[in-house]
Structure 1
Amino acid sequence: MNPQTLSLRALLFLGLWHAGRRGLASAPELRDQPKKIAVVGAGIGGTAAAYFLRQEFGAGVKIDVFESGTVGGRLATVKIGDYEYETGGSMIHPLNLHMKHFIEKLGIPPRKEVSSKMAIFDGKELMFEESDWFIVNVFRMLWRYGFNFLRMQMWVESVLDKFMRIYQYQQYGYSFSSVKTLLHAMGGDGFLALMNQTLEETMIGEGFSQIFLNDIVAPITRANYGQSVRIHGFVGAVSLAGADSGLWAVDGGNKRVCSGLLYNSKSELIPARVTSIAVRVRPSKKGTTASFYEVSYVGESGSAHSLYDIVVIATPLHQGKYDITFSGFSPPIPSHYPGHYHQTVSTVVHGLLNTSYLGTAEPASEFTVSDVLTTDSKGSVISSLISLNPVHIPAGYTQPPASQAKVWKVSSSQPLSQEQLQNMFLSWDSVSETRWLAYPAYRSPHRKTPPFILHNRLYYLNAVEWAASAMEMSAISARNVALLAHHRWHGQVGKIDQEDLHTRLRGEL
């Protein structure tokens, strides 16, 4: 598919964004709106949930967002010298329509583009280095891998074509009660099959060569998720989409979107850690009883609690991530779900790269590679080595060559030793290390994903991460959970777990 087709497709969905959701059938009479909603977590998922919940439930509901850390969560920056640099989620796909909608709504521009060049490192030497000339890169790929690279792009695009269906479902107010039904609405049995086989098995089955997987696909999955081609096929396809051209980021840092969504949602930020959620039954003015969720939390002022009609948990309920005790629920809700999060260590270094570490004889003054990806070999201590640009590109900025000190982000599964740093850099004047439990450790066959619905009006947004962890996946899940909460509150079951959208659209034409 050519770029014109892609842009037309994106424009089609963006043009329909506000138009269709309430248009299929007149909504039944709605019950009174909830009075209070809690969102636990102020990352991209939690702040997007607050934004979409405000859209669904209107101005009258009070929305509280709990966050014990900083707004943005895994979208974070670090300041080195006069500039800030991205240390968390960094790049956004051109077809991530929720993220595009957010920056348009908030009036935040995308970051200016800075040219980059990629190389692949096998732990001893650079086995591929991108040329400044596109045609040279094409011939190099054809010579070594035949048409595998072109076929990979076509395969990823076929997955994206199906993925895009979720935007149309959400425009018309459809929601899904589980990750399984959401994926099935996108891509049918094919997407469910991807969750239950490795990316390696999937691509070998599609006719890709093992050498292509080892040399090209594995470096991409290692750069994006710190894991090999033995991740499951769906997250593998998402990872490969992250190698497309046209990737972008937010001027001033991606975390600005979270702050902007929080402000736009007119929510109250409560800087506290939620410790427990319990079911409470209270008498109502109609002489009956009503159930609420009591959210207990600890902040700078000590312990407190408050009652809510609806609660959305937008932080991972997994060992080592967040501890919430659930009481009074039948059946019981576990405090942690199976599986674990993969550790990625981001070491941001302002220093002078030792280009000989990469096995190149090229003079540092002529070494203009900015993104070094690594193969899955014993010699690869790191997952990637990326030259960072500031989150705001000043006028006249150009990326300095490797002969000058600049900012590099080294990704690895374990903290780097002093010796390893000395091997990679001739000198440095600052080192900043961040240990992220950034995304799940993806395994195949895939275990049962956690549910979106934990209880009647208690929802778990981060269940979607077990399909794939990405900014747009969190935004899609936020939209889905807001719709799900709205439909279940008002008894609109006809908009839940239905895959008849296109049939209904044809019937109304």
Structure 2
Amino acid sequence: MLMMNPQTLSLRALLFLGLWHSGRRSLASAPDLQAPPKKIAVVGAGIGGTATAFFLRQEFGPGVKIDVFEPGSVGGRLATVKMGDYEYETGGAVIHPLNLHMKHFIEKLGISARKEVPSKMAIFDGKELTFEESDWFIINFLRLLWRYGFSFIRMQMWVESIMDKFMRVYQYQQYGYSFTTVERLLHAMGSDSFLTLMNQTLEETMISDGFSQVFLNEIVAPITRVNYGQSVRISAFVGAVSLAGADSGLWAVDGGNKIVCSGLLYHSKSELIPARVTSISVKARPSKTGPTTSYYEVNYADESGSAHALYDIVVIATPLHQGKSDITFSGFSPPIPSHYPGRYHQTVCTLVHGMLNTSYLGTSVPASEFTVSEILTTDSKGSDINSLSSIDPIHITPDYKRPPASQTKVWKVFSPQPLSKDQLNEMFLSRDSVSETRWLAYPSYRPPHRKTPPYILHNRLYYLSAVEWAASAMEMSAISARNVALLAHHRWHGQVDKINQEDLHTRIRGEL
């Protein structure tokens, strides 16, 4: 949908990938560093937790033992479901072309992007299709120009201006800089402008920038609904991330995005402990050679019972919010809450192997000629669903062709609530199988922005998932993982000059 100049994208990506591969200054080789920690625990094996293990290994070297606790499947909210002979994505499905951490991961792990299958988009208001993409770019452009003027181009420029600032984080991390709070991280990227975006709704921001309410209702809202299941009243920052997620060039991993997580886990040489962490407490141990040392006792439960282990550093990479975690903290002063304020938003993912009832969409086009594969929805009373899409398997064979709507195939429906049989009967002429996954997928983003939980919960206890309250996305988790690994390293070794530095953009530009 949102079209950026591919030459601009590739040039920018090459620049930052060049910075990435030039190699960060080797902090671990400095002669004044103390001995590395002996044991580190990471709680959670989603993209955030496994990326944290990867970056911790990079920072602390081969000597430290890293344990990753995960009671479920590795991958977390990156998940697949098998229907018939094939597997399909049910969680995080697409990656932006400028997500440099994710690009680096697949290069490092030797995996590849999935083959792209061309798709066409339409917008549904609950009664009929209000917009349908043509196979011809010029026709799409003229249709949009006629109804919305130059709003699409202006939206592209607005998102790109935010992306330009966002991309600074890769430079900062390349040079080893880290931040103690999400707000400080955002401020380093976009100064006060990003914090302002956190405290305004997307609607308020875009209206003040001259976009029409019609454009927001008919184009912007369908994008926020498919990406975050919420309206244009989400924060402007996560709204910008959502609009970037409607860009061209989006990609996915061949074999499923979750294999990045298992690959990072393997590459980090971490030990996966299939157990649920129940509590974390701080323990003081006297030292024979110096002052009293504190450790963290991680208590966990698996099929064989309960156990515990002591760690020098602990990173929590699972949300500490109601419905997402039941970890308790004891012995901390000030106390650490088990749940932070705010709630996670439910999105239900329903996969249906069946034949679509195209008349449900208010179209008279015969199913054999209906070639739309992505149907977004407006924020209207008639829309019971957030989106409807024809999806492809996680591995695309060379001879694969997406079946037409007149044939049985797999459709993915996002909705705020589980679909009833009556709703499914209305949407599909026939159903061979149905798979439902209920996700507490991302926070409910309602400005004004409340202060995000800190990255540092205690001296050497870190909270990775704080970043989700700015925006929930695979790359945001990877950026947060890099930040936490750097932060843990610098604080362990007392390198305060690498933490919370201001005016980094000007400083690094001078060094370059």
Counterpart position of 2:222: 219
Structure 1 distance, partners of 2:390, 2:108, is 30
Structure 2 distance, partners of 1:29, 1:481, is 21
The alignment status of 1:352 with 2:355, answered yes or no, reads yes
Structure 1 distance, partners of 2:288, 2:75, is 40
Structure 2 distance, partners of 1:103, 1:194, is 31
Structure 1 distance, partners of 2:227, 2:35, is 44
* Alpha-carbon offset, residue 23 of structure 1: 6.8
Tell me the TM-score normalised to structure 1 length. 0.98
Contact in 2 for aligned 1:24/1:172 (Cα 8 Å)? no
| 1:32 counterpart letter in structure 2 | A
* Alpha-carbon offset, residue 103 of structure 1: 0.2
* Alpha-carbon offset, residue 507 of structure 1: 5.2
The alignment status of 1:117 with 2:120, answered yes or no, reads yes
In the alignment, which of 308, 313, 316 is matched to residue 316 of structure 2? 313
Gaps of 5+ in 1: none
Contact in 1 for aligned 2:188/2:503 (Cα 8 Å)? no
Structure 2 distance, partners of 1:417, 1:316, is 30
Q: Quick one: percent identity of the two aligned structures?
A: 83
Structure 2 distance, partners of 1:506, 1:93, is 25
The alignment status of 1:128 with 2:123, answered yes or no, reads no
Counterpart position of 1:70: 73
In the alignment, which of 252, 258, 263 is matched to residue 249 of structure 1? 252
Q: Secondary structure at the match of 2:105?
A: helix
In the alignment, which of 493, 499, 503 is matched to residue 496 of structure 1? 499
Counterpart position of 1:338: 341
| 2:475 counterpart letter in structure 1 | E
Equivalent residue runs for 1:92-491 within 5 Å: 92-491=95-494
Counterpart position of 2:91: 88
Moved over 6 A (4+): 23-26
CA-to-aligned-CA distance 1:232-253 (integer Å, 9 cap, x gap)? 0000000000000000000000
| 2:182 counterpart letter in structure 1 | V
Contact in 2 for aligned 1:40/1:66 (Cα 8 Å)? yes
Structure 2 distance, partners of 1:23, 1:37, is 21
Q: Bigger shift: 386-395 or 1-10?
A: 1-10
Q: Secondary structure at the match of 1:280?
A: strand
The alignment status of 1:39 with 2:48, answered yes or no, reads no
* Alpha-carbon offset, residue 21 of structure 1: 2.4
Structure 2 distance, partners of 1:383, 1:133, is 26
Q: Secondary structure at the match of 1:449?
A: coil
| 2:183 counterpart letter in structure 1 | K
Counterpart position of 1:60: 63
* Alpha-carbon offset, residue 19 of structure 1: 2.6
Structure 1 distance, partners of 2:345, 2:126, is 22
1:502–1:156: structure 2 CA closer, same or farther, 3 Å change rule? Answer: closer
Counterpart position of 1:30: 33
Structure 2 distance, partners of 1:508, 1:216, is 42
CA-to-aligned-CA distance 1:121-166 (integer Å, 9 cap, x gap)? 0000000000000000000000000000111011001100000000
Tell me the TM-score normalised to structure 2 length. 0.98
Gaps of 5+ in 2: none
Structure 1 distance, partners of 2:397, 2:117, is 11
* Alpha-carbon offset, residue 283 of structure 1: 2.0
Contact in 1 for aligned 2:188/2:504 (Cα 8 Å)? no
Contact in 1 for aligned 2:222/2:376 (Cα 8 Å)? yes
Contact in 2 for aligned 1:124/1:358 (Cα 8 Å)? yes
Q: Secondary structure at the match of 1:368?
A: coil
CA-to-aligned-CA distance 1:310-331 (integer Å, 9 cap, x gap)? 0000000000001111000000
* Alpha-carbon offset, residue 475 of structure 1: 0.2
Structure 2 distance, partners of 1:364, 1:411, is 22
* Alpha-carbon offset, residue 4 of structure 1: 1.6
Q: Secondary structure at the match of 1:211?
A: helix
* Alpha-carbon offset, residue 3 of structure 1: 2.0
Structure 2 distance, partners of 1:312, 1:186, is 24
Contact in 1 for aligned 2:298/2:308 (Cα 8 Å)? yes
* Alpha-carbon offset, residue 502 of structure 1: 4.1
Structure 2 distance, partners of 1:400, 1:59, is 49
CA-to-aligned-CA distance 1:257-290 (integer Å, 9 cap, x gap)? 0000000000000000000000001122315321
| 1:457 counterpart letter in structure 2 | R
Structure 2 distance, partners of 1:508, 1:219, is 43
Contact in 1 for aligned 2:455/2:462 (Cα 8 Å)? yes
| 1:393 counterpart letter in structure 2 | I
1:325–1:139: structure 2 CA closer, same or farther, 3 Å change rule? Answer: same
CA-to-aligned-CA distance 1:371-427 (integer Å, 9 cap, x gap)? 000000000000000111000001211111100010000000000000000000000
CA RMSD, 1 decimal: 1.3
Aligned length: 509
